[in-house]
Amino acid sequence: MKVGDLVTLSSYCLQTAPMWTWREKVWIQKKPLIGLVVKIEDNPFIRKNTSENEKKYYFVRWIKEGPAGRWNSSSLRVARPYQTAYFYRNDLKFVK
């Protein structure tokens, strides 16, 4: 995955507790959730037991509305939210 790719949330992410509101919107209400990867950074807190999944932060800008980050399910209506909220690689999948 690289900057500029179109993504959506994976089932892995939607099944986590903070994403319960987005799970309902995507699975039950069938609302589209498409975002653009705008930045990828290395995790500054890597330790020897850090998994491959957690070594990079993916910042996503949602096309309409979307979760602010993997632990914050609030809507992205604040200015430049992708600078503080991130996802892991397993949280995202390519849009088909």
Q: Residue 94 pLDDT more than 80?
A: yes
Q: Residue 42 pLDDT more than 50?
A: yes
Q: What is the pLDDT of residue 74?
A: 56
Residue 48 or 77, more confident: 48
Q: What is the pLDDT of residue 84?
A: 63
Q: Which two tokens stand for residue 23?
A: 């799970």
How many Cα atoms within 13 Å fall on the side-chain side of residue 34?
7
Count Cβ neighbours within 10 Å for each residue of 21-58 and write b for 16 or more, e otherwise. ebbebbeeeeeebebbbeeeeeeeeeeeeeeeeeebbb
* Cβ proximity of 8 and 92 under 8 Å: yes
* pLDDT (mean) for 25-42: 92
Compute the distance between CA of residue 40 and CA of residue 63 in angstroms, rounded to an integer.
18
Q: What is the pLDDT of residue 2?
A: 94
| Tens of pLDDT, residues 50-93 | 898 989 999 999 998 888 888 764 554 444 444 467 899 999 99
